[in-house]
Amino acid sequence: MRILMACVSAAALAASVPALSQGQGNGNRGGNAHSDRGGGSSQADRGNKDAQRGGGNERRAERGDRADRGNAGRPDRADEQAQRGDRNTHRGERADRPADGDRRGENNRDRQAERDDRGQGNRHSESRTDRGNRGDQRAERGNREDRRADRDNGRDRDQARDLSERRERNLRVASERAERHRTLINRRDRRTDNRRDANGRDLADIDFYRERRWDGGDYRDRLGRARALQRTGWQSRFCPPGLANQNELCMPPGQYRKLYNRGARFDRRGYDLPEWYRASYRDRGLWGLFGGESNYRYANGYAYRLDPATQIVTALFPVIGGALGIGQALPTGYNVYNLPTQYRPLYRDDDFNYRYGDNAIFRVDPNNNRILGISQLLTNDFTVGRPVPSGYDAYNVPYGYRDAYSDDDQYRYRYNDGQIYQIDTGTQLVLAAINLFA
């Protein structure tokens, strides 16, 4: 019904346009008057264009006729153009273009006239035609909007109802949950619940944090859970993959190990590198000249080398058993296969990954990068071309190789890190390395 009404109103508006144009007082002359001002042809064109924009072809043809009529007293060219416009009504907007093209010589003038028209009388008829067409559009748009509004209203009502129900449900759940938490907290704090499992773990604690686990998962809950699990001895079982199972909490490995990064100032003065580790990280003192102040510190599984003057961390080394302990996630920078050459045939990345660090080869879980075992200890003592290191006074070649590599007057042989080294007895220089695993 609305559509029908809209069509009728649009038709009425379209029909009223010529009447309105005439009603401006000049009838056909109005067209001439327009042409006088700025060129009838352009107006006729415009009329056609407007008609094409606004309505169907028939209506446009009609309007073209009217324009023709309107231009009766105008110069021939204007008539021709108008007629062409009539003939071309079925071609749509393109019908106007040849008319424009025919008067290319007058293009500039016409354009100027068009500009003038916009500012003067043409404005009326044009704007009214436009208005009529726009009225059609508006009517249609209005219909669409009405329909959409109807749909939207329905949807809004549904959504509002859903939202309200959801809100109520959430409130109810939150309230129930809060009540349960209060009960658990009270039970735990008052120690009225003394339940223990078979391993003696506090069941009230476990219940409490098991409950909290599903409570939206905000940070404090996770923190609390980690602490509780640590207390109850469940930490290692519940540390999610990718988080380091550290002494206190499940923490992202990067975060944990950034306690002292390169360039940071080491503020734990007096916490020296433990004596048990000084053999590996020997103090060099100030610039290696004086043996006074230690320039190594140990913290959080890392040995830190410091600038003795500023206490700035210049290097840090993950320590076997510390940051490189079994169960720990490998520190950043150990993603690449980095084994010493002689051990590569022995340990290849396959079911497990193997990584080298702090003079050891570690077997690593490829899924979560955790250290599963220490496959090999190394010393890195020997370098070909350099003197034999101290500590290799005793012959130590494995039994299977003793016949081939036995000490004589010219050479000595020593085993280290998968290789047998040939040593010149005179110079004590390491001459060659024989790889046992090649």
Partner 1 sequence: MKKYIMCAPLAAMLLVTTACVKADDDNGDESATTTSAEAADGAPVASGEDLSIAENLAAVADLSTFNDAVAAAGLTETLGGAGPYTVFAPTDAAFESVENAREMLDRGGAPLVNLMSYHIVPGVVAVEDLRNAIEQGGGSAEIATMSGATLTARLDGDDVVISTGAGNQARITEADKAQINGMVHVIDGVLQPVAANGGGGG
Binding site for partner 1 (CB under 8 A): 274-277, 279-280, 298, 301, 319-322, 325-326, 346, 359-360, 363, 373-379, 381, 389-400, 414-418, 437
Extract the tokens encoding 412.
């000595």
Q: Shortest approach of partner 1 to residue 288 CB, angstroms?
A: 18
Minimum CB distance to partner 1 smaller for 119 or for 373: 373
Minimum CB distance to partner 1 smaller for 38 or for 301: 301
Q: Shortest approach of partner 1 to residue 175 CB, angstroms?
A: 47
217, burial (CB in 10 Å: exposed 0-12, middle 13-18, buried 19+): exposed
Minimum CB distance to partner 1 smaller for 251 or for 436: 436
Q: Shortest approach of partner 1 to residue 379 CB, angstroms?
A: 6
Q: Shortest approach of partner 1 to residue 370 CB, angstroms?
A: 12
Q: Shortest approach of partner 1 to residue 388 CB, angstroms?
A: 11
Extract the tokens encoding 106.
């007058």
Minimum CB distance to partner 1 smaller for 4 or for 394: 394
Q: Shortest approach of partner 1 to residue 272 CB, angstroms?
A: 8
Minimum CB distance to partner 1 smaller for 107 or for 379: 379
Three-state secondary-structure class, residue 98: helix
Name the residue among 244, 438, 413 with its Cα closest to residue 326: 244
Q: Shortest approach of partner 1 to residue 436 CB, angstroms?
A: 9
d(C-alpha 44, C-alpha 96), whole Å: 9
Give the bridge partners for 312, in sequence order: 265
Q: Shortest approach of partner 1 to residue 398 CB, angstroms?
A: 5
Task: Give the phi and the psi of residue 360 in degrees, each rounded to 5.
Answer: -150, 155
Minimum CB distance to partner 1 smaller for 56 or for 398: 398
Query: How far are the Cα atoms of 56, 270, 387, 393, 423 from residue 407, in angstroms, in the given order?
Result: 110, 48, 17, 12, 9
Extract the tokens encoding 24.
């401006």
Minimum CB distance to partner 1 smaller for 5 or for 404: 404
Give the bridge partners for 244, in sequence order: 251
Name the residue among 192, 213, 216 with its Cα closest to residue 203: 192
d(C-alpha 112, C-alpha 100), whole Å: 14
Say what angle helices 203-213 and 122-190 make with each other, to 10 degrees: 180
Q: Shortest approach of partner 1 to residue 246 CB, angstroms?
A: 12
Minimum CB distance to partner 1 smaller for 366 or for 391: 391
212, burial (CB in 10 Å: exposed 0-12, middle 13-18, buried 19+): buried
Extract the tokens encoding 339.
């084994």
Minimum CB distance to partner 1 smaller for 203 or for 378: 378
Minimum CB distance to partner 1 smaller for 208 or for 281: 281
DSSP secondary structure letter of residue 287:
G
Widest pairwise Cα distance in the chain: 133
Q: Shortest approach of partner 1 to residue 217 CB, angstroms?
A: 32
Torsion over CA: 98, 102, 105, 111 (sign)? negative
51, burial (CB in 10 Å: exposed 0-12, middle 13-18, buried 19+): buried
Which residue reads 């034999």 in tokens? 388
